[in-house]
Chains A and B, each alone.
Chain A
Amino acid sequence: MTVSPLAAWRDRLAALAPVLDVAEVPFRSQLTVRVSDPDAIAAMGATLGVLFPSAACTFTSGTGRFGDVEVLWLGPDEFLVTASPGLRVTIEEVLRGALGTVRGSVVDTSAQRTTVVLQGAQGREVLAHGCSVDLHPAAAPVGTCVQTLLARTGIVLQVTGEDTLTVLVRSSFAEYFAAWLADACTEYLAVP
């Protein structure tokens, strides 16, 4: 039996509709990859069916043998590969194979963070109450991925659609994140 960090928050998060449709997407497969060798990066991408992001603060997505896979740029040599639940062991293996003897590392960090999807036209607005990154669509277009602070917790923020934001938050901070989000939505919920 598995329990996700925000299982107990499902109803409270759902109650934030219609301001935001908020749902935890639990148990995603997540692998932290440290690598800078271009050939190894290309090989890893080929294995997953997705081009690794080359620009800072972006993510890429693609579809391959592991279905839909996203690769998030977290730093000059750091990436986070995310995919559907249940694939973490296999993906770790194939990434390690693609890395070969090249300098780098692959670590299963699937349970380190949980994934929360926020859908709604006011998502950027709500997060602006706690996030200092410029979330204006011109500054943070679809495909943006930043590691930043939301209020007092670190998050990874992906702009996954015009009105869709995906937040990855450390499991131990997930309840704080949910409580903060609910509080930040209060005013928006009150406005008819």
Chain B
Amino acid sequence: MSFRTDTGGAIDRNTLLRFTFNGVEHTGHPGDTLASALLANGVHEIGSSVKLGRPRGVVAAGSEDPTSLVQVEAPFSEPMLLATTVELYDGLVARGLAGQGKLSSEPDPARYDAKHEHCDVLVVGAGPAGLVAALTAARSGARVVLVDEQNQAGGALLGVDEYLDDRPSAEWVADIVAELKSTPDVLVLERTTAFGMYQDGFVLALQKRTDHLGFAAPASVARQRVWRIRTRQTVLATGAHERPVVFADNDRPGIMLASSARTFLHHYGVLPGSRAVVFTTNDSAYCAAIDLAESGVDIAVVVDARPEAPARLAAECAARGIEVRAGQLVTGTEGPGRVTAVQVGDDRIACDALLVSGGWNPVVSLFSQARGTLRYDAELGAFVPGRELATVRVAGSATGELDLTACTRQGRDAGAGAAAAAGFTSGSQVPLPASDSRCTARSGLVLWRVPGNDDASFVDLQRDSTVADVLRATGAGLRSLEHIKRYTTIGTAHDQGKTSGMIAAGIVAEALGVELSEQRPTTFRPPFTSVSFAALAGRDRGDLHDPVRVTSIHPWHVQHGALFENVGQWKRPWYYPQPGEDLHAAVLRECRATRESVGMMDGSTLGKIDVQGRDAGEFLDMLYTNMMSNLKVGKIRYGVMCGVDGMVIDDGTVIRVGEERYIVTTTTGNAAKVLDWMEEWLQTEWPHLDVHCTSVTEHWATIPLVGPKSRAVLAAVAPSLDVSNEAFEFMTWHDTEVAGVPARVCRISFSGELAYEINVTAWHGLAVWEALMAAGERYGITPYGTETMHVLRAEKGYPIIGQETDATVTPQDLGMSWAVSKKKPDFIGKRSFARAENNRSDRKQLVGLLPVDPAVLLPEGSQIVETDRLPEPPVRMLGHVTSSYPSAALGRTFALALVRSGHERIGETLYVPVEDSLVPVTVTESVLYDKEGARRDG
């Protein structure tokens, strides 16, 4: 049986849309929502409740609906959508949910998007108040954005058949929208929900752009877009939601809000049933009763909780043969699923729809999010906006006002006020419309619930929370609404308690015997309606999820089969496997080639900071633990940097390039942090210092050329450079030409081998790299990655910041007392070195570990214990393994570790629990290879 009216509604009856719900095929029309199409087909049972499995239907016509959750299965599986906000399209497949949906395991093929927008006046809500506010602001010349969650403007007018100024309200709406859209710098966004309001006029809104197109949605158009709106002034014209009354078995399908039934009639041409009971506490439901009666619904009775029915409306009902019973209540319902009868006093009245109105709740969520305070209006039985905010105005029924002309006057005032506050003078005045509505704007009786079976009286239908649950909470001593919300979970579902929150507050106040004006409402938090993570992610996914930083030499690495390691956002070559090689084999080969002949790597990611100024030396003396001001021009020094707590935060080299100019290097991952650290000290503590720091990380490509044959390779590409050990000493630099390109060559070694770091502008990086490869070919030059670099430096006991250190490690712990100046009067961290804690002999110190079995590789992170058998817990842990590798040079495995009293334990045997065994290891100095440094000069 069809419940579609013959005429009326914003639907296209000439076009048929096929869809499937719960496995059954139905039809609907363009303009339908899934909910309206289902109701038109007489389908009221949508899903079942989350805990109790009770059948549930459609309560409201819009985004406030607590029950009609569905899973859309096609075109793409998406959970937890409201049937009332899913626009119908051909081929839609959906099923009702029991409170929980299922995320698709397939990647969502749709595109998502974000856009920033700036305006003088943002108007939220395109109902009568919002339209007038937006037009008033627009006529002043302000930049205006108007957002509205529905697919067309009009707000509450879409759900009624009223005339404004003697013409259909749709015409009045259309005129205003047309003027707005033709005004420059005005943006009207339909299907757009402002879901979050934050500080300083920052508002997030979600626009559903192609959802309604279903299978026809173009793949190139972002399906949803998050608008990031920054506005100077905001007008909230967010309207009001009708509130139900709670009574026993109030959750059956077929029980819906009266105004929503009216909206289904006027906007979708759908009847809620054949025979309806109306239960109200106020005038507005009479209009629903009269309109539905005129459309052919048998209105069995209007039950008005008030002692007296409004005379004029009662007379209109009488004229249509509708019985009105004043001073009575609905006390219960019946039905196998959908409602079949309603209990009113002693009478059992058969019906297939029960339309309820308990009054109106202004939608104050965004106002509350913007830190607006709320005030309880006893006459409305609702929280309304309290004091206006400097940048946020509220207009229309969101204030609690119910009269249309008054609402639009508020809109006009708010629009003009907002524009004026943003510096615009009013343009021509927008005339206020008058409505022909029968239902006078009058508050009714405040009634939260009808006494009855508390266990079946549902407050939050989605959470299956009942009056009994609320009373259990208050009975347990809970008084704060915030606590009761968490105890009962009322208001925590997808709808955030739009229809249940106020009632819960009312029932709590009654139970506690307190005035609602003394109760603080629960805090409204974003999002106002559900927002998918896909929408929030926007285009920041896949390759764009996080920037991948690459060096100028990167294409070569890719071409030559490098595998990459992520270091911060950088992609660094990890190792270059040859056919058949795994990590282990490749690294052994790369290490051996480098130690025996020559290797090179891409070190461009190293942080580089140019430090200039008369006080540069003094500044660096304060930043590093060792002395830098006495470094001679042309020389290089290794430096350690500590935090104020004396713990190592970074290390690198300091290159003195001029009397007042240094270049310092940082670890790859800390480049930005170290520059910030320098700026912080310069700007906050030492503004008197004549020093400026500039990042040059990406200006330079850096290529370490390493190994006994590196000198010969360098000589081949830098003919004008005297590469002899005498002319080019360790820890010095020379400007020269490498492969015909101006270059700065530094003699620095992170492996103990003879080594050079060749710096050229990034533009030349690739060409110089290739020239070095060619020049080194006769020596079997081998490109190596970060893994080999790690092994080579570990063999020499050089720590890696972040691997050997963890913010509790001092330079002394690392065996670097030599890098801590005893002469300097002060430097960052110095004070801490005198602390008793820093001078304990049992601090964890960096040592080497050699497994007694040279083939055993210790897992990094392993704990270290003292005895060859584990004692009863707690077991004393001496420290942990920080680095562990097989070594080609040592012909065995080795590790670095932080061990309590490590320096004193050299020569001892300790034990490392690995799976079920304890592996014996010998503690050694951290330097395991070439202790005398014989290899440094080649």
Chain A residues near B (Cβ < 8 Å): 1-5, 8, 26-27, 32, 34, 103-113, 128-134, 136, 139, 151-153, 170-173, 175-176, 179-180, 183-184, 186-187, 189-190
Contacts and interface: CB of A to CB of B under 8 A. Distances in A.
Contacts of A183: 539, 544
Contacts of A190: 218, 220-221
Interface string B593-630: 00000000000000000101110000000000000000
B116 A27 contact: no
Contacts of B698: 111-113, 170-172
B511 interface: no
Contacts of A173: 547, 549
Contacts of A180: 539, 544
Contact of B116 (A109, A131, A187): A131
Contacts of A170: 698
Contacts of B405: none
Interface string B538-562: 0110011011111110010000000
Contact of B763 (A2, A34, A128): A2
B728 interface: no
A4 to B, nearest CB: 7
A129 B763 CA distance: 30
Interface string B660-703: 00000000000000000000000000000010101111111000
A136 B185 CA distance: 9
A183 B542 CA distance: 12
B761 interface: yes
A32, A105, A110, A183 pick with most chain B CB within 10 angstroms? A105
Contact of A152 (B118, B221, B546): B546
Given A111-B761, A130-B114, A186-B111, 16 more contacts: A1-B767, A5-B762, A109-B694, A109-B699, A112-B695, A113-B698, A129-B115, A134-B118, A151-B540, A152-B540, A171-B762, A173-B549, A176-B547, A180-B544, A184-B539, A187-B113
A105 B548 contact: no
Given A172-B570, A190-B220, A109 B696 contact: yes
A111 B763 contact: yes
B656 interface: no
Contacts of B635: none
Given A112-B697, A180-B539, A187-B222, A5 B117 contact: no
Contacts of B185: 136
B764 interface: yes
A107 B661 CA distance: 10
A4 B220 contact: no
Contact of A111 (B228, B613, B699): B699
A76 B697 CA distance: 23
Contact of A129 (B114, B690, B692): B114
Given A5-B552, A8-B555, A171-B762, A132 B116 contact: yes
18 contacts: A3-B552, A3-B767, A104-B692, A105-B692, A107-B694, A107-B696, A109-B695, A111-B698, A111-B761, A111-B762, A112-B698, A113-B698, A129-B115, A134-B118, A152-B540, A171-B762, A176-B544, A186-B220
B764 A2 contact: yes
A111 to B, nearest CB: 4
Contact of A172 (B111, B228, B549): B549
B571 to A, nearest CB: 10
A106 B694 CA distance: 9
A175 B548 contact: yes
Ordered nearest first, which 5 A-B pairs have the shortest CB separation?
Answer: A190-B220, A105-B612, A172-B549, A105-B692, A176-B547
A110 B220 contact: no
Nearest to B742: A89
Nearest to B228: A132
A139 B550 contact: no
B298 to A, nearest CB: 51
A2 B117 CA distance: 40
Contacts of B699: 108-112
A178 B570 CA distance: 17
A183 to B, nearest CB: 5
Contacts of A172: 549-551, 570, 698
Contacts of A5: 552, 762
A136 B230 CA distance: 13
Contacts of B228: 132
Given A111-B762, A172-B570, A186-B111, A136 B143 contact: yes
B766 interface: yes
A26 B111 CA distance: 32
Contacts of A105: 610, 612-613, 692, 694
A129 B539 CA distance: 10
Contacts of B551: 172
Interface string B744-774: 0000000000000000011111110000000
Contacts of A109: 694-696, 699
Nearest to A1: B767
B690 A103 contact: yes
Nearest to B768: A1
B763 A27 contact: yes
A98 to B, nearest CB: 15
Given A105-B610, A108-B699, A187-B220, A134 B230 contact: yes
A127 B539 CA distance: 13
B694 A128 contact: no
A106 B765 CA distance: 23
A110 B692 CA distance: 18
A70 to B, nearest CB: 18
Nearest to B701: A111
A32, A172, A190 pick with most chain B CB within 10 angstroms? A172
Contact of B113 (A2, A4, A108, A129): A129
Given A8-B555, A103-B690, A173-B547, A110 B761 contact: yes
B763 A179 contact: no
A133 B228 CA distance: 11
A175 B614 CA distance: 38
Contacts of B550: 172, 175
Contacts of A128: 115-117
A189 B765 CA distance: 35
B774 to A, nearest CB: 13
A175 B699 CA distance: 16
B547 A152 contact: yes
A48 B694 CA distance: 22
Contacts of A108: 696, 699
Nearest to A4: B763
Interface string B457-479: 00000000000000000000000
A175 B571 CA distance: 13
Contact of B694 (A32, A151, A186, A189): A32
Contact of A34 (B222, B549, B694): B694
Contacts of B220: 186-187, 189-190
Interface string B213-256: 00000101110000010100000000000000000000000000
A171 B552 contact: yes
Contacts of A179: 543-544
B549, B570, B692, B695 pick with most chain A CB within 10 angstroms? B692
Contacts of A184: 539
Nearest to A125: B115
Contacts of B552: 3, 5, 171
B133 to A, nearest CB: 21
B115 A111 contact: no
Interface string B109-126: 001011111100000000
A172 B698 CA distance: 7
A34 B539 CA distance: 36
Interface in B689-731: 690, 692, 694-700
A172 B567 CA distance: 13
A107 B763 contact: no
A90 to B, nearest CB: 13
B699 to A, nearest CB: 4
B544 A151 contact: yes
Contacts of A134: 118, 230
